[in-house]
A and B are shown apart, each in its own frame.
Chain A
Amino acid sequence: MLIEQSLDCKETEIKITCGLIDDRLKKLIEQIKLYSFSVIGFKDGISTPIALENIYYFESVDNKTFIYLNKEVYRCNEKLYELEKSLAGTAFVRISKNCILNISVVNSVRAQLSGRLEAKLSNNEKVIVSKHYIKAFRDKFLGEGV
């Protein structure tokens, strides 16, 4: 690992040189992206950049997108499908028609008789993973080769 520190450097740049991207490297890249990017959230007329690692999930309700943090909720101007696109390759995954979840905040999962999964988050909140998104959700944890 090569780290170059210089006071002249104005912007942090991360460069990965590799042969093939394997599962471990893919996870590392996801983590880097998670800690490098932010989304603009709105609350009481004030816009705030929110770091991705602090976001638990995005939810769309009545065509409005909300950002859920540990205890706070912000409005987001982006649509869920736009977020899904820009969050590709991060720890976020679509878990239902109206929710994108950060898998790094998942504490445990439980199967439901309906064939869905119930994910318990680190703030004790529970979200449901729809049947049709279970495979993508599972692959995010276990890799696509499972």
Chain B
Amino acid sequence: MKSVFMICCYSFTAVILFISLFSQFDMAPLLSDKVALQAFTFSLSIAIIMAFADKINKNADFSIWTDLLIRIVICFAVVLIEGIWFKMLPFSWKAVIYAAPIVIPVFIITYFFSYITCMDWADKINKSIQKKK
């Protein structure tokens, strides 16, 4: 539950930042209440599906590349399906091109935040080991 919330927070922040940035160049809709709620729906859906994928991964223990691929596919699938549903994206192959400038950086940022969390844990564990010595 905590990880779902964390992923949701990271990705929502990143999505909002990128929508704001790309809307300056007419590459994304202007940020409004509706767009913010839709972005939240994207983030929450991605977080829930990723948590579900993690549960599957626990039993299968996929390699890092398979894991990355699954996560990117989840991000794209959610943004495309919901983007078309909310009429933010056109119902054509072009939707993939429109979604890519937001999905890819958001994915990288979310992944980077997970790495930062992991680094923080490693740091705390190392301190605990040093203390014992």
Contacts and interface: CB of A to CB of B under 8 A. Distances in A.
Interface of A: 96-97, 106-117, 130-132, 134, 137-138, 141-142, 146
B100 interface: no
Contacts of A97: 59, 61
B115 A117 contact: no
A112 B122 CA distance: 10
Contacts of A134: 118, 121
Given A97-B61, A111-B122, A106 B115 contact: no
B126 A109 contact: yes
B128 interface: yes
A130 B61 contact: yes
A146 B124 contact: yes
Given A96-B61, A130-B61, A131-B54, A111 B121 contact: yes
Nearest to B119: A111
10 contacts: A96-B61, A97-B59, A97-B61, A108-B129, A110-B122, A115-B111, A115-B118, A117-B121, A131-B54, A138-B125
Nearest to A118: B122
B45 interface: no
A137 B128 CA distance: 12
B111 to A, nearest CB: 8
Contacts of A113: 115
A29 to B, nearest CB: 16
Contacts of B119: 111
A100 B54 CA distance: 20
B58 interface: yes
Contact of A117 (B54, B57, B118): B118
Interface string B110-133: 010011001101101110110000
Contacts of B122: 109-111, 117
Given A115-B118, A131-B54, 17 more contacts: A96-B61, A109-B122, A109-B125, A109-B129, A110-B122, A111-B118, A111-B122, A116-B118, A117-B118, A117-B122, A134-B118, A134-B121, A137-B125, A138-B124, A142-B125, A142-B128, A146-B124
Q: Tell me which of A109, A112, A130, A134 has the highest count of chain B C-beta atoms within 10 A of its own C-beta.
A: A109
Contacts of B54: 131-132
A68 to B, nearest CB: 19
Contacts of B121: 111, 117, 134, 138
